[in-house]
Amino acid sequence: MDILVPLDDSEPAMDALEFAARENPGATIVALHVIDPGTMAYGEGSVYAYEALVETRREAAADLFEAAAERVSAEDVSLETETTVGRAGREIVAFADDHDIDRVVIGSHGRSGAARILLGSVAEHVVRRSPVPVTVVR
């Protein structure tokens, strides 16, 4: 079984990773980090500044993946890592569709009310559009 776990640097994302590993022994877990250019501030809009920031985020993702590997090291799973650039919800759904993923396990930040409406919800987007079953971990 191939399970996609989107990772950012939040505790809910790490909780989702641990849940997926614990509940699916023998599975291959793909930890996906999405670099969202919409959240990056890169002055003057230069291509160089954009590329430099993406590279910096890729390096940070490597540290994130190291922490992820430590969190699931005691479990009987295989951990693969991927990084992509784009809008988080769209990239997660596209990755699941394009890579023969069987399930998505995603952390929820637990936003509600106005915060959810104003900020949107990646988990909600994935639940609504995913081509495979989704488990949301709170």
The CA–CA distances, whole Å, from 16 to 3, 25, 102, 115, 138 equal 11, 14, 16, 22, 8
* pTM listed for this prediction: 0.88
Tens digits of per-residue pLDDT, 3-53?
Answer: 999 999 899 999 999 999 999 999 999 999 999 887 666 555 566 778 888
Element (H, E) at 3: strand 2-6
Domain extent listing, the chain: 2-137
Q: What is the pLDDT of residue 77?
A: 97
Of 35, 72, 28, the C-alpha closest to 51 is: 35
* Sign, Cα dihedral of 74, 107, 133, 82: negative
Joined tokens for residue 129:
């559009």
Residue 112 has pLDDT above 70, yes or no: no
Tens digits of per-residue pLDDT, 64-94?
Answer: 999 999 999 999 999 999 999 999 999 999 9
Joined tokens for residue 108:
């929820």
CATH class, range 2-137: alpha beta
